[in-house]
Structure 1
Amino acid sequence: MTASAIDVRWTDHAAVLFDLDGVVTPTAEVHMRAWSDTFNAFLALPDAPGGGDRSPYEPGDYFAHVDGKPRYDGVRDFLTSRGITLPEGQSTDPGDALTVCGLGNHKDVAFNEVLERDGVDPFPGSVALLDHLRGLGIPLAVVSSSRNAPAVLAAAGLSDRFITVVSGAVAEELGLPGKPSADTFVHAAEVLGAPVERSVVLEDAVSGVRAGAAGHFGLVIGVDRGVGADALLGAGADLVVSDLAELVPTSEGGI
């Protein structure tokens, strides 16, 4: 179902919860490059431990195993898909440690290097929707698996748009399981004082859409930035758009 087939009457909803990477900012591309560099460097090691399939990491691996998940969960799921076994390690492991945490930390360093060097501009359509929702006075939150969400929002100049940011770091601090569990979205709605059945979830990742559906949110909107509309609908999205500008009313009485 596309946005043209359903009216999104924003004033019927009490809160809107945005994923960040791929929904508000195009940082999903930065994450994809950072993951590719990290996994392919590991897979190419001549004496890498863990056995399993050492063929190169591909973009499809990102969407199937990593997209939208907390960093270490993404590492575990990708390694499992290849039959590779590594020790868990510690969150303090350096980026060259051959552990789940070491690989995750290597990716984090790579991501921040690209963000600091290149910055990030938000999607214009996403800013248009944020402007519209601000005009309506609807409270907004970011719910992101990334620990870097506050830094990304600051780089994009959008920190003041959201009442709360439930990042990967916040989820870890509160002991909340990451997507596809609904817990981080539920927590954000609670902070905003909004019931889940009157809250909207905006997600571009299958895992995030599944989280919105699992939490029985009032409306789950998939944003197709490459994973495919069918996959998002199959995961539980109520409708799918290719850009958030499609959700901004163009005339009185519109969506």
Structure 2
Amino acid sequence: MKLNGIIFDFNGTMFQDSHLHEQAWIDMIQKYSPGNGLTETEILTNVHGRTNDKILRHFVSSELTDEEVQKLSLEKEEHYRKLCLNKPEQLVLTDGLIEVLDDLKERKLPLTIATATIKENVDFYFDTFALDRWFDPDKVVFDDGSFPGKPEPDIFLHAARKLGVPPEECLVIEDAYSGLRAANTANIGMIIAIDPFFKNRETFQKENLCKDGVITDFHGFTQRLFAEQA
């Protein structure tokens, strides 16, 4: 395929914070739906990559109003950011990613972020990681309530449009089951999964969700990527 744009997921891809999101969700669900435990399968299929409204209505109550969802969503994300700030040593981008982003910037390859999180978190990430070194915040796609979340394809279709690149000429890098399903449905040309802790690759590969492979980090990523493009 001809590669003309790269779309990064953020949580669990660029920033290894899955455990912090899991903890925040466990705390929230236990607070508002006591006794509703989260299994590994539920975390894989119904938490990571999903928008907050879907998670809350799945685990807390399907009868939540939009106003209740908004309030609980903001509460969860504030709790999550506090968990992040309580572990400053973990506030680092995924191994090898800074070098990859510098390389992509030098190559002038269009790139953006497509994330299921909300704007308050996106602003936190731009401030914390100085993401404006590589990304235009106006081209970042996040959960603003205007389109269905993963596993629907809309988030990646929006991101491709913001890059001005057809989906079939884009690469998506994702860690979440729902996100990989969305990328496949969006007809993304190249899909790579990241699985740093060897937790999900068997599921990803069994369901053929990451047709272009699985990585554990970003060391040597662009060298391999562009060697394959040559």
Q: TM-score, normalized by length of structure 1?
A: 0.77
Distance 1:213-1:251 versus aligned 2 partners, 3 A rule: closer
Are 2:83 and 1:114 equivalent residues in the alignment? yes
Counterpart CA distance in 2 for 1:89 and 1:251 is: 45
Aligned letter for 2:52? R
Residue 117 of structure 1, CA deviation: 4.2
Counterpart CA distance in 2 for 1:149 and 1:198 is: 25
Structure 1 stretches of 5 or more lacking a match?
Answer: 1-8, 45-53, 80-84, 94-99
- Secondary structure of 1:132's match? helix
Residue 179 of structure 1, CA deviation: 0.8
1:71-220 superposed matches below 5 A: 71-79=52-60, 85-91=61-67, 93=68, 100-119=69-88, 120-147=91-118, 148-163=121-136, 164-169=139-144, 172=145, 175-220=146-191
Counterpart CA distance in 1 for 2:126 and 2:19 is: 16
Q: TM-score, normalized by length of structure 2?
A: 0.84
Counterpart CA distance in 1 for 2:225 and 2:149 is: 38
Corresponding residue number in structure 1 for 2:31: 41
CA contact (8 A) 1:180 1:210 kept: yes
Counterpart CA distance in 1 for 2:36 and 2:58 is: 16
Q: Percent of pairs identical after alignment?
A: 23
Aligned letter for 1:244? F
CA contact (8 A) 2:45 2:178 kept: no
Aligned residues: 220
- Secondary structure of 1:72's match? helix
Counterpart CA distance in 2 for 1:24 and 1:116 is: 17
The higher radius of gyration belongs to 1
- Which 10-residue stretch deviates more, 106-115 or 244-253? 244-253
| Alignment deviations for residues 185-243 of structure 1 (CA, whole Å, 9 cap, x no partner) | 11111111111110011000000000110011110111114441122231521111111
Counterpart CA distance in 1 for 2:101 and 2:51 is: 25
1:249 to 206, 212, 223: 223
Aligned-pair RMSD on alpha carbons?
2.4
Distance 1:16-1:151 versus aligned 2 partners, 3 A rule: same
Counterpart CA distance in 1 for 2:225 and 2:189 is: 24
Distance 1:126-1:70 versus aligned 2 partners, 3 A rule: same
Distance 1:252-1:221 versus aligned 2 partners, 3 A rule: closer
Counterpart CA distance in 1 for 2:192 and 2:104 is: 15
- Secondary structure of 1:220's match? strand
Residue 43 of structure 1, CA deviation: 3.5
Counterpart CA distance in 2 for 1:251 and 1:60 is: 31
Counterpart CA distance in 2 for 1:13 and 1:219 is: 8
Distance 1:242-1:42 versus aligned 2 partners, 3 A rule: same
- Secondary structure of 2:7's match? strand
Residue 108 of structure 1, CA deviation: 1.8
Are 2:38 and 1:57 equivalent residues in the alignment? yes
Structure 2 stretches of 5 or more lacking a match?
Answer: none
- Which 10-residue stretch deviates more, 159-168 or 54-63? 54-63
